[in-house]
């Protein structure tokens, strides 16, 4: 299984689109490494990447939503907080027990839910809102 970046995910803001592409790329690399059993070497750098990623990307999105006075700003920010907290928990569990079937599965499910429930749904909601706001006469 791999994730694909499709055109419908484009927000038109390159700073956001590049980060979403990066998420998909990293997810695919991580999953591939789970299959080839070299997971230990990639998980530590992956956590480092994700920790930095959530800080940067979530702030970039929140700044954008705030700028356009997005009505779902508060709810979206809460979702970002939940993702960050969940990531912290998974990271803590991993640092205690190392990579095992349980936390590798948990990590994969977490990232998939992030992609399906957040990027594909919530991020696309602010995209639609901003598009409408920027081009009100088009519809």
Q: Point out which residues bind Fe ion (CB under 5 A).
A: 61, 123
Nearer residue to Fe ion within complex by CB, 104 or 124: 124
**How near is the Cβ of 16 to Fe ion at its closest, in Å?**
6
**How near is the Cβ of 75 to Fe ion at its closest, in Å?**
11
Nearer residue to Fe ion within complex by CB, 82 or 102: 82
Nearer residue to Fe ion within complex by CB, 13 or 47: 13
Nearer residue to Fe ion within complex by CB, 79 or 93: 79
**DSSP readout, the chain?**
------GGG--S-HHHHHHHHHHHHHHHHHHHHHHTT-HHHHHHHHHHHHHHHHHHHHHHHHHHHHHTT-TTHHHHHHHHHHHHHHHHHHHHHHHHH-S-HHHHHHHHHHHHHIIIIIIIIIIHHHHHHHHHHH-GGG-
Are residues 95 and 51 in contact, defined by beta-carbon separation less than 8 angstroms? no
| Closest residue to bound Fe ion by CB | 123
**How near is the Cβ of 35 to Fe ion at its closest, in Å?**
26
**How near is the Cβ of 60 to Fe ion at its closest, in Å?**
8
């Amino acid at each position: 299984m791999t994730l694909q970046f499709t055109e419908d995910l484009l927000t038109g803001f390159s700073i956001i689109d590049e980060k979403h592409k990066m998420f998909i790329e990293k997810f695919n690399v991580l999953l591939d490494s789970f299959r080839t059993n070299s997971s230990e070497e990639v998980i530590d750098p992956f956590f480092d990447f994700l920790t930095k990623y959530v800080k940067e990307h979530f702030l970039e999105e929140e700044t954008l939503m705030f700028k356009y006075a997005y009505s779902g700003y508060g709810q979206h920010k809460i979702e970002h907080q939940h993702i960050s907290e969940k990531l912290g928990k998974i990271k803590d569990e991993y640092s205690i027990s190392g990579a095992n079937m349980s936390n590798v599965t948990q990590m994969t499910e977490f990232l998939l839910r992030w992609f399906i429930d957040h990027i594909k749904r919530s991020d696309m909601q602010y995209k639609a809102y901003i598009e409408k706001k920027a081009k009100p006469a088009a519809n």
